[in-house]
Structure 1
């Protein structure tokens, strides 16, 4: 990775940390903020799987030197999942606005919850495959 990419990734990580802290400590409810937050979640969660998972060669059992695969975007995704969790459990959200607002907002929330579960199972599957290949 070049220096510009590293700086960009660090900037994104710091911005996500700041957003998570803001949602955790402030009364933030606003329809515009909610819509922007949903766009951030959508952009970061609906993404293709890393090609490294599909292109990794099979390892021989007992090969202890190989590191288990970790998605290079995981540091950001971990913060995005935290952001999603803070959004879902927030007491600041006016539930009546969500109920009476556009139907797609409810669909987005359900979709994000399902996607979160899918990603958790995906990483669990990678761990199980790793254990199977190395033991």
Structure 2
């Protein structure tokens, strides 16, 4: 399949004639409640013995499952910064570390990615949105989402990545949820999605049909 055909197939904005889905507003239940325990920085992975790194890696992945409301720029500033720093650390950890992608971390990684990426997109302010002519609505939570996408790509591109383990958690349902995110008006997100799907299809030939 040519690159142009691939992009046309997975990016609904590449074919303007495709019917756009009706979207609902994103509920506040996705975000951290003010009554929840505030995120606290965990020790750095490089500062703990190798025997403790897997457990700490998983704890950090679970910590990054917490979503914050970026529509309120002054809410949870400390928690947002803790998560941003943790995501940056996780990107560096799987990029520079060898043997860090052990079998138990695969489902935890996909849970974290799913918790951040899979969300109800806000309704389009312009139902006839044309990415070539109209200004897009940018994703407010991009400071975190960008790092999650970066982490996802480093995970898929790692020399330690094992498709035989990955296929247990990256399945048809997961790919279909990724495809739904092409309804995002943010071009930065759609660009990441194209690259992510190329990597997934490269690792899992059986998922190319979806």
Please classify the TM superposition score into its range, dividing by the shorter chain length: 0.5 to 0.7
Per-residue deviation, 1:46:
0.5
C-alpha distance in 2 between matches for 1:120 and 1:15: 28
Structure 1 Cα separation of the partners of residues 97 and 82 of structure 2: 22
For the 8 Å contact 2:113–2:152, the answer to whether it is kept is yes
Aligned to 1:106, which of 144, 167, 170? 170
Correspondence list, 1:26-45, <5 A: 26-27=97-98, 28-45=100-117
Distance 1:109 1:25, change over 3 A: farther
Q: Distance in 1 between matches of 2:155 and 2:172?
A: 12
> What does residue 130 of structure 1 align with?
none
Q: Which residue of the partner structure matches residue 185 of structure 2?
A: 122
Unaligned runs of 5+ in 2: 1-71, 127-134, 188-210
Q: Is the 8 A contact 2:116 2:145 kept in 1?
A: yes
Q: Is the 8 A contact 2:91 2:147 kept in 1?
A: yes
Which blocks of at least 5 consecutive residues in structure 1 are unaligned?
57-66, 125-135
Q: 1:14 deviation in Å?
A: 0.7
* Correspondence for 2:155 among 87, 90, 105: 87
Relative to its length, the structure with more helix (as a share) is 1
1:9 paired with 2:80, answer yes
- TM-score computed with the length of structure 2 as normaliser: 0.42
